[in-house]
Structure 1
Amino acid sequence: MSIRNLDALFSPDTIALIGASNRLGSVGAVLARNLFEAGFEGPILTVNPSERAIRSALNYHSVSELPLAPDLAIIATPPDSVPGIIRELGERGCRAAVVITAGFGEGERADGKALKQAMLEAAKPYLMRIVGPNCLGVLLPHRGINASFAHIMPQKGDVAFVTQSGAVATSILDWASARGIGFSHVVSLGSMSDVDFGDMLDYLALDPKTRSILIYMEAVTEARKFLSAARMASRNKPVVVVKAGRSDAGAKAALSHTGALAGSDAVYDAAFRRAGMLRVNTLDELFQAAGTLATGIRVKGDRLAILTNGGGAGVLAVDELADRQGHLAELSESTLARLDELLPKAWSHANPVDILGDAPGQRYAGALEALLDERGADAVLVMNCPAAVADSLDAAQSVVATLGERRPAVLTCWLGEGAPAEARQLFAAKRIPTYQTPEQAIGAFSHLSNYWRNQQALMQTPPAVSDDIIIDKASAEAVIDCVLKDGRSVLTEPEAAAILSAYGIPTVSAIAVKTPEEAREAAIQLGFPVVLKILSRDISHKSDVGGVQLNLASPAAVAQAATDMLASVRRVAPGARVDGFNVQPMIRRPGAHELILGVAEDSVFGPIILFGQGGTAAEVIGDRVIGLPPLNPLLAKEMIYTTRISRLLKGYRDRPAADLEAITLTLIKLSQLASDLDRVVELDINPLLADSSGVVALDARIVIRAAHGQRRPLAIRPYPQQLEQVIETRNGQRYALRPIRPEDEGALVDMFRHSSPDDVRLRFFAAIQGFDHAFAARLTQIDYDREMAFVAMLPGKYEIVGVVRLSTDPDKEKAEFAIMVRSDMKGTGLGYRLMQQLLGYARDSGILQLYADVLRENHAMRQMAEEFGFVPQPVEDETDTVTVVLNLKRQCL
């Protein structure tokens, strides 16, 4: 449902507390105290059938007695009563509720699950939103609302905290209170029966009082909604997440290596990276991230300058920086010369800048000013160790004075316990991030630089995928049909190789035979040496049953190996059906690397892609990474470079680099396979040999589902190729029309540049001198689940001449549209044809209303909108824009 009616939850005019109490220590009494004392300016109405007044306020005995319809209700009554209360509230016009009560199936109890469903059914007719059940509640400092049983009301701030755990919420409130950190929202989601992380991210991404978002997560419910919301939120503000349950205990047993290796936490990690979120591993790191983000500082790289009065502390910081893959900034000659003038001769003359143990505040100030001007540094860490010959507070005061009202990327670390207490208080008061140890400080810098790196990855423009990729999806589907008709779910090696070949993945030629004698003849035909493999629809891992023999150099060796193989299989797997043998040429690629690539299904995020070091010891080595399809060249290369084996793939000593482009292309092809073939449950290519001459799959294993089975959809909607078409305008001109792609950035900018400044102004409501990467990327890197943009091109030319786009709200009911035709193509009918295409897509997508803001002077656009049935909306004051609206639902009727 997303953000519908969340305004009632976070900006209510009237609040009702159902289950309020005067009984000391009860949840109802604590809720009443917190609500009445938090500073909410609207009416707070209490309901309790046995009380005359709650905290000296008139109490009501039932929801029906309430004199006002509450926007928000807080419910703390026995679970059996909640569905009925929700229904009553909905009838009164209440639009949101926070259900504090537990007992709704948290322990997999059937009766509790039935109650939860009854509660949701009661809310559904009224579109009523529910937070919880089994939650701490919500705290909204800017609105003076403490609808929780937390022990502390936080200060006003610009950090939002969303958690599934009430205990974690109270812990972070306590931590933040001691450090003067405030919040815009604190929301405990509990069991997430309705409002979930996706809803919260959608809301908070657009909330002007929220500058950063912290999340404590145990599970995601709707993966596609979550990722769409997370990607949008991460483009606007930092999103930091800590997820509980990082072990592989949740991984199910699987027939393939990929299915076994793809533990659920690795998939969450991939999802967080793909969304541009920053993941931390512990609550301590989350707390530290909260403190760092609350200061508002940001970095644009991972190069750190360190200023310290203690050499040992500087070395500890350098070691931690190296462990976290950060880099020491290289100081320029001009900075070194400037420091030479300021500092004693014995200073370190390098980064870390050790200004010696007797450094007074003045020395700190001069050195810091020099480092702030160093272009090679993305941030400065200022450290202080207590010393009898220098004043730590004086040093801190000098740092504060040097910064003044500026907020550059400066972090501080005053070591010790008692001596630096006043200095830390000073830094906290001035919103300068401060830490107790070098490790904490470097961790904070790492969080900031990782967030920056994630944002860069989120906004990179990928190169176009090679047009040479030829995919024969029909052939792959035909193989799967035959296997299912045979009543099997595991493909034989020749069948698996046929599917890989259909997707352009190089495989080894092979001959399937029935008997040892036929194997002998096939080997002669192929030439020696050869590889012999057992061919059985019942054996998944051939090497486990002695079903693989390598480097057979003669006809006799092949025949003997086949005979021995049959005996071994009968002994180890007596029930397995043996269909014969697979004979392949022995591939000799000295120095080639063994890789593993795979596809599996995650119970939350659907299809996933695996890449890593392959071979029989793949599980033991554990060098692997998970990615979410669809992949483009940049995402595929990021997966490769995340693994340790990538260092070997780059080449070393006399070993040439492997063909990284071929590996990248194979990952992209595998991603397309995962998108296309929804009956593939698990797939392994192990090993994929990779060297300077390219790649080849030596073995493959594929598991499919029965025809009646259904998989989870891809967590990220892939490029909708089915929408590609050729359109024709009224004057007979034909155009290639397709959804926009990230690699269209350059062509789109060219279209803007070849349009008149006035046309650009009419489209963007402002004169735009240049189109930078961030601006263009936002227009081309769209979420196809929530946005669509069609580009029109002249046939045979990679030249965009028209664009029409729409962006839906998170509920996918309303959508804003925009259209632009290149100036020299205006008047050809292209704009009219693009609008027809947009309307058809909107109707097919179930969108109920289209709207746009149009400049009053844009008469051509207003006239075309009127021709399509858009209605201008009345406004009280004369404005520069007119909003035009088309209700598609009414038009369909």
Structure 2
Amino acid sequence: MTIRNLDALFAPQAIALIGGSNREGSVGAVLARNLFGAGFKGPVMPVHPRGEAIRSAVSYREIADLPATPDLAVVATPAAGVPEIAAALGARGCRAAIVISAGFEEPALRQRLLDAARPSLLRLVGPNGLGVISPRSGVNASFAHLNPRAGDLAFVSQSDTIASSVLDWADVREIGFSHVVSVGDMIDVDIGDLLDALAADPKTRAILLYVETITNARKFMTAARIAARAKPVVVIKAGRWEDRANGQAAGSDEVYDAAIRRAGMLRVRSLRDLFAAVATLASGLRPRGDRLAILANGGGPGAIAADTLADTGGRLAALSPETRARLAALVPDGLTAEGPVALPFDAGPAAYAEALGALLADPGQDAVLVLQAPRAIGEGLETARAVAAVTLPGRKAPILASWLGERAAREARRLFAAKAIPTYATPDEAVRGFMQLVEYRRNQDLLMQTPPAIAPGNVDLAAARRAVDRVLAEGRRVMTEPEAKTLLAAYAVPVVRTEIAADPAAAAAVAARIGFPVALKILSGDIQHKTDVGGVRLDLDSAAAVEEAATHMRKLVQERRPGAAIEGFTVQPMVPARRAHELVVGVRTDPVFGPVISFGQGGTGAELIADRAVGLPPLNGLLAREMIGRTEVSRLLAGYSDRPPADLGAVAATLITLSQIVADFDEIAEIDINPLLADERGVVALDARIVLAPSSGRHRSRFAIQPYPGELEETVSTRSGTAFRLRPIRPEDEPGLVAMLERCDPEDVRLRFFAPVKTFGHAFAARLTQIDYSREMAFVGFGDGEGPQDILGVARLIADPDEETAEFGIMVRSDQKGRGLGYLLMNAILRHAARRGLKTVTGEVLAENRSMLAMAGALGFRQRIHEDDVALRRVEIDVAVMMG
């Protein structure tokens, strides 16, 4: 389930309370006080086995006795009896229940509760949570110690103590909420469900999350990416200490970090930063980069800001000679091209305004931080007015402010807040706010950017399949190095030539045939890190040296790993690596998010250096390069001294290929290429290890983000024999889609989008091409032999979060109408709806769009006048009947 019946949670008409009490200090008494005292306009109906009145309200002995059907129930009774209560609530017609009760540690009891709720589709929040508060609806179905103000922030927490603390913290600061949800153990309603509901809630401006664990990664990522497109989503992820305690310092937390970034959300590290980030993002300020200019009255505050900027990864703006010349008269001590601009301590409003205007005009900055240390009372406010009055033509001036002190700064901060200028108490807080804006902008850009088209490589899928099946048929789980390289070579990953030798003499003979110098390695599926046991020798320059090294190596490995099965040796030519960089790339399977890709500095010290970035597949060129850019080794790859830049395209292509390999093979659990040598000529894998597992049967469903479903590509023909190629849309189709729309008649565009559209901007087109295949599908059509820019038509299907109903949209290029492509696209969409198990497909069509209505009628859609607009027709078809 997803958002079904969650409206009963946030805006019920009637509420039942099971477990209320008059005993002062009990949970039941606090629940009753909050439910009756929050201003709810409907009935609150207590249920008590002895009929005891709760807070002077009549109680009912049985749920069946309630005089009105409750939309929402609040349950705070012993855990053992809750399944029977849930069944009774469902029978009475209740649609949602908040289970405050704890004590559901036993899986059998949890399952009983779920089984009791399922027949009536009763949604369950909890158990073991604080409850739910919706101030605008007058609902406080929680045992919180206060009733929060109404506002436009939604807060979802996996911790009842954190939820309670946030309510207290926000109350002092007069911060209000649209909804507060403590999800407890998430037996049913989880964070993904709530993100779907809150993304569509017009009363919610931003969503705040306190996350400890995710139960359904795919649902969470789908909902998060949709929500983050609509409004800011700010996340605290707790539990990093648990990774360290379990020996996973580089474990799951970095995957959560990658997931939050990939979804376009913003991660913060503290509750203070959580609300500060919301205020910062609400300003509407969107810096283009991380270059910050700093303006202050004196050197101290500017120096603190500059230090914090360096510590958090930002850059001081490099000012142009023209800007420095404009500022020269205002800065008596002079200034450098890079550095804070230090006005005299007694600088007044005019000096601040002139300096700020000069900085805003400089193309080398992305934002300006204005600082003022306290001066005489009143002067700070006048300077603040002068700063707020500085504007830029056509866009919001990128200004952040920090007026230091308390009493003297109060009115200035109120002024900045009223003008939507982000304002902070200290310089370091201001810089951290700026870097939050930078990170949020980067994450949103990743969510919206269009990757370049990448030509598919020469993949020998059959050879790769044979390599995997052979190992599994032999009952093994770890591929030998040569087997792993065979699989990589089948995907066109460059690998060094590797031959197997059974004994030292054979190794010497292979080396002589290959040519010296060579590398010699032990061959054993039981040994992961060959270097650790003396299983690697390099630069051997003669057959005698190889045979001697192999003899000694076998003895050494047997001593250090006596249980390891030694199958022989591998011999490789030495690859010239003087100017190459050693990298490590790989795949592992995270228990929550499934396959993840890693990249970093390689070699024998890779784990010690721990210079690594993690990303969620599927990857494209932009995502792969963003991963590379998050590592320290990326600065080396850019070139330095006598080393030219490495071929980043080849490195990125390797990451993309790994992403494709794990999409093609459900049996691959781990891949480790270390080292991957990279230089200006490309890449080559020197060593590789691949771990297999029996197929889970989940295939691509194990991914948190569903990969491109290439299996849906097909060639179809009209009755007259005209052939078209149909395939799922890809992000890199954006230019082709825009070209198609621009070639359409304006009237056809109006009929499709219900309004004239003259320009098709990036954000508009990206939303149509960058889809989540778990929730949406769009098929694009091409003529036989036409290129990827020649899109002739597109049909789209968007399922609701409950995955029962979906809405379609379709458009065929104006010069292609009448050729039958529309019917082919619609049939493809309907077949996909049937595969997904959807029940109903609907669409909205302008009444004047007779050709679309005629096609819908021919396909079996029912038609009726739209309930909200007589100019629209709603068309609908039952998928099962249609596929009948």
SS at match of 1:824: helix
Deviation for aligned residue 1:158: 1.7
1:180-579 aligned at under 5 Å gives the runs: 180-247=174-241, 249=243, 263-293=251-281, 298-329=286-317, 352-360=340-348, 364=352, 377-388=365-376, 391-396=379-384, 409-421=398-410, 423-424=412-413, 433-467=422-456, 469-579=457-567
State how far apart, in whole Å, the 1-side matches of 2:646 and 2:554 are: 37
- What is the match of residue 795 of structure 2? 804
Deviation for aligned residue 1:876: 5.9
135-144 vs 374-383, greater mean Cα deviation: 374-383
Would the alpha carbon gap of residues 408 and 588 (structure 1) be closer, same or farther in structure 2, given more than 3 Å must change? closer
- What is the match of residue 706 of structure 2? 717
- What is the match of residue 122 of structure 1? 116
Q: 2:836 matched to 1:845?
A: yes
Read off the aligned partner of 1:271 and give its amino acid letter: A
- What is the match of residue 256 of structure 1? none
- Does structure 1 conserve the Cα–Cα contact (< 8 Å) formed by 2:617 and 2:659? yes
SS at match of 2:727: strand
Pick from 797, 814, 817 the counterpart of residue 826 of structure 1. 817
Read off the aligned partner of 2:86 and give its amino acid letter: I
- What is the match of residue 145 of structure 2? 151
- Does structure 1 conserve the Cα–Cα contact (< 8 Å) formed by 2:374 and 2:409? yes
Deviation for aligned residue 1:310: 3.2
- What is the match of residue 726 of structure 1? 715
Once the two structures are superposed, what CA deviation does each residue of 1:296-330 show, in whole Å capped at 9, x if it has no partner?
65545434343432321012112212322333445
State how far apart, in whole Å, the 1-side matches of 2:113 and 2:244 are: 29
Would the alpha carbon gap of residues 27 and 372 (structure 1) be closer, same or farther in structure 2, given more than 3 Å must change? farther
- Does structure 1 conserve the Cα–Cα contact (< 8 Å) formed by 2:87 and 2:117? yes
Q: 2:692 matched to 1:704?
A: yes
State how far apart, in whole Å, the 1-side matches of 2:649 and 2:245 are: 31
1:156-171 aligned at under 5 Å gives the runs: 156-171=150-165
- What is the match of residue 78 of structure 2? 78
State how far apart, in whole Å, the 2-side matches of 1:710 and 1:229 are: 21
Count of residue pairs the alignment pairs up: 878
- Does structure 1 conserve the Cα–Cα contact (< 8 Å) formed by 2:209 and 2:236? yes
State how far apart, in whole Å, the 1-side matches of 2:254 and 2:659 are: 17
SS at match of 2:58: strand
Deviation for aligned residue 1:533: 1.5
- Does structure 2 conserve the Cα–Cα contact (< 8 Å) formed by 1:20 and 1:32? yes
Q: 2:53 matched to 1:64?
A: no
State how far apart, in whole Å, the 2-side matches of 1:299 and 1:507 are: 43
State how far apart, in whole Å, the 2-side matches of 1:648 and 1:346 are: 37
Once the two structures are superposed, what CA deviation does each residue of 1:861-881 show, in whole Å capped at 9, x if it has no partner?
001101111111245676221
State how far apart, in whole Å, the 2-side matches of 1:503 and 1:261 are: 32
Read off the aligned partner of 2:432 and give its amino acid letter: G
- Does structure 2 conserve the Cα–Cα contact (< 8 Å) formed by 1:70 and 1:94? yes
Would the alpha carbon gap of residues 539 and 50 (structure 1) be closer, same or farther in structure 2, given more than 3 Å must change? same
Read off the aligned partner of 1:31 and give its amino acid letter: L
Would the alpha carbon gap of residues 556 and 230 (structure 1) be closer, same or farther in structure 2, given more than 3 Å must change? same
Would the alpha carbon gap of residues 296 and 51 (structure 1) be closer, same or farther in structure 2, given more than 3 Å must change? farther
Once the two structures are superposed, what CA deviation does each residue of 1:729-772 show, in whole Å capped at 9, x if it has no partner?
12211111111111111111111111111111111111111111
150-159 vs 284-293, greater mean Cα deviation: 284-293
Would the alpha carbon gap of residues 541 and 633 (structure 1) be closer, same or farther in structure 2, given more than 3 Å must change? same
Structure 2 gaps, min length 5: none
State how far apart, in whole Å, the 2-side matches of 1:365 and 1:662 are: 49
Deviation for aligned residue 1:55: 2.2
State how far apart, in whole Å, the 1-side matches of 2:101 and 2:600 are: 46
Deviation for aligned residue 1:543: 2.0
1:7-46 aligned at under 5 Å gives the runs: 7-46=7-46
Deviation for aligned residue 1:631: 0.8
Deviation for aligned residue 1:21: 1.4
518-527 vs 412-421, greater mean Cα deviation: 412-421
Would the alpha carbon gap of residues 659 and 569 (structure 1) be closer, same or farther in structure 2, given more than 3 Å must change? same
Provide the identity percentage.
56
562-571 vs 212-221, greater mean Cα deviation: 562-571
Deviation for aligned residue 1:140: 1.1
Deviation for aligned residue 1:248: 6.8
SS at match of 1:678: coil
Once the two structures are superposed, what CA deviation does each residue of 1:253-305 show, in whole Å capped at 9, x if it has no partner?
8xxxxxx8851111111111111111112223223223434556554543434
- Does structure 1 conserve the Cα–Cα contact (< 8 Å) formed by 2:151 and 2:178? yes
Pick from 581, 591, 595 the counterpart of residue 569 of structure 2. 581
- Does structure 2 conserve the Cα–Cα contact (< 8 Å) formed by 1:212 and 1:293? no
427-436 vs 789-798, greater mean Cα deviation: 427-436
- What is the match of residue 95 of structure 2? 95
SS at match of 1:184: strand
Would the alpha carbon gap of residues 840 and 344 (structure 1) be closer, same or farther in structure 2, given more than 3 Å must change? closer
406-415 vs 68-77, greater mean Cα deviation: 406-415
SS at match of 1:58: coil
Once the two structures are superposed, what CA deviation does each residue of 1:686-742 show, in whole Å capped at 9, x if it has no partner?
111111111111111111113578777111111111111111112211111111111
Would the alpha carbon gap of residues 581 and 365 (structure 1) be closer, same or farther in structure 2, given more than 3 Å must change? closer
Would the alpha carbon gap of residues 423 and 22 (structure 1) be closer, same or farther in structure 2, given more than 3 Å must change? farther
Read off the aligned partner of 1:598 and give its amino acid letter: G
SS at match of 2:702: coil
Pick from 755, 763, 766 the counterpart of residue 752 of structure 2. 763
- Does structure 2 conserve the Cα–Cα contact (< 8 Å) formed by 1:516 and 1:563? yes
CA RMSD of aligned residues (A): 2.6
Would the alpha carbon gap of residues 305 and 145 (structure 1) be closer, same or farther in structure 2, given more than 3 Å must change? farther
Would the alpha carbon gap of residues 152 and 385 (structure 1) be closer, same or farther in structure 2, given more than 3 Å must change? farther
State how far apart, in whole Å, the 2-side matches of 1:663 and 1:479 are: 24
- Does structure 1 conserve the Cα–Cα contact (< 8 Å) formed by 2:666 and 2:696? no
- Does structure 2 conserve the Cα–Cα contact (< 8 Å) formed by 1:358 and 1:390? no
1:582-601 aligned at under 5 Å gives the runs: 582-601=570-589
- What is the match of residue 879 of structure 1? 870
Would the alpha carbon gap of residues 370 and 43 (structure 1) be closer, same or farther in structure 2, given more than 3 Å must change? farther
State how far apart, in whole Å, the 1-side matches of 2:44 and 2:398 are: 44
1:860-871 aligned at under 5 Å gives the runs: 860-871=851-862
State how far apart, in whole Å, the 2-side matches of 1:57 and 1:364 are: 63
State how far apart, in whole Å, the 2-side matches of 1:672 and 1:250 are: 31
State how far apart, in whole Å, the 2-side matches of 1:465 and 1:708 are: 30
Deviation for aligned residue 1:889: 3.2
Deviation for aligned residue 1:627: 1.0
State how far apart, in whole Å, the 1-side matches of 2:553 and 2:336 are: 69
Read off the aligned partner of 1:76 and give its amino acid letter: A
- Does structure 1 conserve the Cα–Cα contact (< 8 Å) formed by 2:497 and 2:573? yes
- Does structure 1 conserve the Cα–Cα contact (< 8 Å) formed by 2:499 and 2:570? yes
Would the alpha carbon gap of residues 334 and 41 (structure 1) be closer, same or farther in structure 2, given more than 3 Å must change? farther
- Does structure 1 conserve the Cα–Cα contact (< 8 Å) formed by 2:332 and 2:344? no
Structure 1 gaps, min length 5: 254-259
Q: What's the TM-score, normalizing by structure 2?
A: 0.94
Deviation for aligned residue 1:127: 0.9
Would the alpha carbon gap of residues 380 and 177 (structure 1) be closer, same or farther in structure 2, given more than 3 Å must change? farther
SS at match of 1:800: coil
- Does structure 2 conserve the Cα–Cα contact (< 8 Å) formed by 1:99 and 1:132? yes
